[in-house]
A and B are shown apart, each in its own frame.
Chain A
């Protein structure tokens, strides 16, 4: 387990402040944040490389105050590997291992043993990362700290290694904390996601909750939510719209029907957000595009004109401009499979319907 409570540390002018989060025993935590937000500093503080200035840090339930790096049983893998250039690849892998057979077996699983005959200086960035991961796992650490460890691997290798590291970590009961810029990776790997900015934790929790229920519009935009609207929250206690079943459940539990007015857009949802000014977030994956109006439970439906189509492989992002009267319009971005987009025969200028369920609207 990695448990930080009010953790602070200082490196030059940069300060890590009041950092609190928990990654339960054997679980996989991901740290997300912009460059320079303090992600690596956080890992180095946990590893004992940077001294703590305040707060409490517990690894496996043990207080780490005054515990030197070598006694923390926490392996660290840097983005650039930092393989020891005066040693062979095998010597690197076995550096901290007590059991060389186990170290070699780990290297084989990660794909580093096939590099044993190579010179460290001749390895590519991705190969260095493989060896560095095997080296960190070889001493059977209780905690594994990974600083963008898959960034230099090709996509196919990345998927394989990512899966294998997760599997090894589960088998050995290792608690992992990984820094990543990749939201997909965060979603795929993480049991816990920690969003950090300017040395502070903005939000932490299950990745899905972070993505679906960001605590602020900044977090929503940082996490790639395309549809973030500023507006006004109003309660609809008198005239309840025709909500779907999941929304009705929430209503039954004391939540309230809400009308959110953002420019010309009128969104309906259910929640416990306070009335007044706020933000509505709708992830592009939640938005449906159709040629005709939906007759389903989607309460929020808007007719608009396609203004942009951007295809990136299997996914296509479609921007629909919703006319809100008076010459104003509001964009809604939808993410759909490229195949669906092709089936809809979408063109810029096409008239379409954009719809999403009331529960897809998150207020913050």
Chain B
């Protein structure tokens, strides 16, 4: 009997050890599969950009000195993207503040409407803008009568950039305001500040890093915009339209340097964002 019990205990122990061993093996296998999937995904994201910069980066940087059209397209891109960012800040900041701080009827609907441009294909956004700002539209026609041409001008580019990137600004700015506890403003107001002064003296400085980051995101998105711009203003050409134009007119070899320069320039906002995030992490407003 004693031997029988000893045997069954030994068998149970062996089964437990075996099942623990197989569990450990399953965990290890899952980790390996997860790492493999992640690596493939990362490669998928990085490889095209690395290949592009590798193939055309040096040539592209040389073109910056020799290719006047490229320089002009880059300058136009920077100018229009900066203008679109400035407009997004001007119009989007109060809107984001309103959506974050006030409770009113239709708030959720307003937030959804602002997000809408993010969901529609960008050429469709261009067509929609054309309907409102085109020569035959009420607004576009009136502006043209006043001597302001939207379609086929830098103004059209700014409009296209603003339309597709403004929702990103509003969303990121709302998040920046949400991080500032409303009681900071309450204290400032109890100390005699009217709402606008409390915003300027307290909310704005406390959310400034988030607002700058939102501006950088908008600027980067504006620089990379193509679909809406190409419908509204093909000429003068911004960098994205120029790279497309070179590709369709002259083939890959001619498009490569322009595309590579654009990819290299994308690192500027990326670097700025990383720096802002790092400093924000170091200076979290924790009470």
Contact = CB atoms under 8 A, between A and B. Distances in A.
Contacts, number: 65
Contact of B191 (A49, A86, A139): A139
A76 B287 contact: no
B188 A95 contact: yes
A323 B285 CA distance: 60
A74 interface: yes
B187 A82 contact: yes
Interface string B165-209: 000000000000000010110111111111100100010011000
A49 B191 CA distance: 12
A299 interface: no
Nearest to A98: B192
A58 interface: no
Interface string A60-88: 00000000111010111010111011100
A68 B287 contact: no
Nearest to B191: A96
A259 interface: no
A70 B192 CA distance: 4
B287 A135 contact: no
Contacts of B193: 70, 96
A82 B189 contact: no
B183 A68 contact: no
Query: B183, B188, B195 — which one has the most chain A CB atoms within 10 A of its CB?
Result: B183
A74 B190 contact: yes
Contacts of B287: 80-82, 128
A343 B111 CA distance: 73
Q: In which size bucket is the chain B interface?
A: 20 to 34
Contacts of B188: 84, 95-96
Interface string B251-264: 00000000000000
Nearest to A77: B187
A225 to B, nearest CB: 35
A321 interface: no
B186 A47 contact: yes
A148 interface: no
B158 to A, nearest CB: 33
Nearest to B287: A80
Give the interface SS of chain B, mostly helix, strand, loop or mixed: helix
Interface string A29-63: 00000000000000010011100000000000000
Contacts of B206: 84-86
B192 A76 contact: no
B194 A68 contact: yes
A95 B191 contact: yes
A186 B188 CA distance: 28
A80 B202 CA distance: 17
A136 interface: yes
Given A76-B187, A80-B287, A81-B287, A96 B192 contact: yes
A96 B189 CA distance: 9
Contact of B190 (A80, A81, A136): A136
B183 A75 contact: no
A341 B64 CA distance: 93
Contacts of B285: 85
Given A78-B183, A85-B206, A49 B190 contact: yes
Given A85-B206, A85-B285, A86-B205, A69 B189 contact: yes
Nearest to A132: B187
Interface string B272-287: 0000000000010101
Interface of B: 181, 183-184, 186-195, 198, 202, 205-206, 283, 285, 287
19 contacts: A47-B190, A48-B190, A49-B186, A68-B195, A69-B186, A69-B189, A70-B191, A70-B193, A72-B190, A74-B190, A82-B181, A82-B184, A82-B287, A84-B184, A86-B206, A96-B188, A128-B287, A132-B187, A136-B190
Given A84-B184, A139-B192, 11 more contacts: A49-B189, A68-B195, A76-B186, A76-B190, A81-B287, A82-B181, A82-B184, A84-B206, A128-B287, A132-B187, A145-B190
In the complex, the 5 A-B pairs of residues with the closest C-beta atoms, listed nearest first: A96-B191, A69-B189, A49-B186, A76-B190, A80-B287
